[in-house]
Structure 1
Amino acid sequence: MMDPSYLTILGFGFVLGLRHALDADHIAAVSTVLATRPSWRASGLIGFSWGLGHTLVLLLVGTVALALQISIPESVANAAEFAVGLMLIALGGVLALRVFRERWHSHSHDHEGRRHDHVHSHAATSGHGHAHWWSDSVKPLCIGMAHGLAGSAAILIVVVTASRTFLEGLAYIALFGLGSIIGMMLIGLVLSLPVIWSLSFGRHALLVVQGVAGLGSIGLGLSMLVRIATGEHLF
């Protein structure tokens, strides 16, 4: 029978995983993807893919760390966090550029004796193609893997020092990862609310939401780079 104290630790790991999904850099990165996928199905899939990539990297790094009883050097952790900051800037920049390239503008025309305005973009396509599940999954999966590598140092410090056996450590990481998957799926649904809601107000409203997501990601990425450059600990 498992030690009740160990079961408590595992439960705590699951709760921490749920909380970990709420980190600002995670939300900013995923929001840039969700802003271009205004649908409930895509939001859940994106959140799941992020959490899966995050957990896979944690398990991989955790296996090595637990087997060798080592922790990730602070310099390596800071380098990984710096890379995440650059990734946030890139994700936000790509989204902002996409909004700019849309070139949405208004056209006026007469219809049944009344004058109407409608929004039009020369960048829009009229094809009937649709996204497949794997095209919605690859990008957030890679983003989650990058965050998993960057956040593994702080998590593994707890795991390596608190785990009595190799399997106990992996079980803690797995439950932490499960919590982060569920948490990010829920966050994905919540973050999709303004994206889907904006569609009811027209394309311009959606572009505003996308622009805010892009600028927010760029701003947070720059903030992370400054904090690392000034020697401030991110975890």
Structure 2
Amino acid sequence: MLMEQLPIILLGFTLGMMHALDADHVMAVSSLSNQKPSLRRTVLFSANWAIGHGSVLVISGLLLFGLGIALPEALIHVAEMSVGVLLIGLGLYSFWQFRQQKLVITKHRHGDVEHSHWHHDEHGKDVEKTATKDGHLPVMVGVLHGLAGSAPALALIPAIGQTELSVVIGYLLMFSIGVMLSMMAFGLGLGSLQGLLKQRYDMLFYWSRRVIALASTLLGCFWLYQAV
């Protein structure tokens, strides 16, 4: 029995890994971590987002295939529009935060050689300590994305000929695990890149954060236009 269902389980895992890298998912996590970039914060936010996203899919699957209750289309449509509003809000909030930060130059002397470089004045805030405190926000964002994307994900299940509740839940769990691992891998890459830029190329780091904020705002506008 297990061997018969293994291809379905692997399919769910593979589709989950691909689904995680949808543009709106990647941009939301990037914008969340962009506010106070750090490797630990980015990976943690990626995992928390995936938990919120996966929990909605599993609950939706239980309701639909266990009780025959589907999420209202109006709710899914509102969630789709909310994703656009969220991306716009995250982008604009990042720009507001940038105005609170100062780009200052510091000088260091090594013997007779003097070095100078730019860095951000973060007002003494400990980014690592605030990562866990802010962790609930990515979960809520993941829930929103889960609501918006639940219909396409659940629609795949009848298409592959599965109606047994145990198989459906197994499929959705593996789908969600695939989403989590893929998003955490993305978060690891993004966090590492931002850390490298911050340490060695601070001006590139400075502008990369603004590019992410602008991209989030523009994608949010496009997403909202498509949803409406």
Q: TM-score, normalized by length of structure 1?
A: 0.83
SS in structure 1 opposite 2:35? coil
Q: Deviations over 1:166-201 (max 9, x none)?
A: 222111111100000001000111222431122134
Q: Deviations over 1:44-66 (max 9, x none)?
A: 22221111111111112221111
Residue 147 of structure 1 pairs with residue 171 of structure 2? no
Residue 214 of structure 1 pairs with residue 221 of structure 2? no
Aligned partners of 2:12 and 2:174 also within 8 Å: yes
Aligned partners of 1:92 and 1:214 also within 8 Å: yes
Residue 224 of structure 1 pairs with residue 223 of structure 2? yes
Q: Deviations over 1:100-133 (max 9, x none)?
A: 2214255899999998766476x63236685155
Aligned partners of 1:48 and 1:181 also within 8 Å: yes
Superposition deviation, residue 139 in structure 1: 2.0
Measure, in 2, the Cα distance between the counterparts of 1:120 and 1:3.
56
Q: How many residues align?
A: 227
Gaps of 5+ in 1: 230-235
Question: What is the identity, as a one-letter code, of the residue corresponding to 1:53?
Answer: G
Q: In the alignment, what sits opposite 1:156?
A: 154
Q: Deviations over 1:123-167 (max 9, x none)?
A: 632366851552252222221111111111111122356322122
Inter-CA distance 136–82: structure 2 relative to 1 (3 Å threshold)? same
Gaps of 5+ in 2: none
Residue 10 of structure 1 pairs with residue 19 of structure 2? no
Cα RMSD (Å): 2.8
Q: TM-score, normalized by length of structure 2?
A: 0.85
Q: Deviations over 1:72-106 (max 9, x none)?
A: 45443222111111111111111111112214255
Task: Single out whichever of 148-157 and 186-195 deviates more from structure 2.
Answer: 186-195
Question: What is the identity, as a one-letter code, of the residue corresponding to 1:188?
Answer: G
Q: In the alignment, what sits opposite 2:88?
A: 89
Question: What is the identity, as a one-letter code, of the residue corresponding to 1:79?
Answer: V
Q: In the alignment, what sits opposite 1:170?
A: 169
Percent identity over the alignment is: 30
Question: What is the identity, as a one-letter code, of the residue corresponding to 1:135?
Answer: K
Q: In the alignment, what sits opposite 1:98?
A: 97
Measure, in 2, the Cα distance between the counterparts of 1:57 and 1:205.
37
SS in structure 2 opposite 1:125? coil
Task: Single out whichever of 188-197 and 90-99 deviates more from structure 2.
Answer: 188-197
Aligned partners of 1:99 and 1:207 also within 8 Å: no
Aligned partners of 2:119 and 2:202 also within 8 Å: no
Measure, in 1, the Cα distance between the counterparts of 2:125 and 2:33.
21
Q: In the alignment, what sits opposite 2:35?
A: 36
TM superposition outliers: structure 1 runs of 4+ over 4 Å:
105-121, 127-130
Q: In the alignment, what sits opposite 1:135?
A: 133
Superposition deviation, residue 67 in structure 1: 2.0
Superposition deviation, residue 33 in structure 1: 2.0
Question: What is the identity, as a one-letter code, of the residue corresponding to 1:2?
Answer: L
Task: Single out whichever of 76-85 and 98-107 deviates more from structure 2.
Answer: 98-107
Superposition deviation, residue 68 in structure 1: 2.8
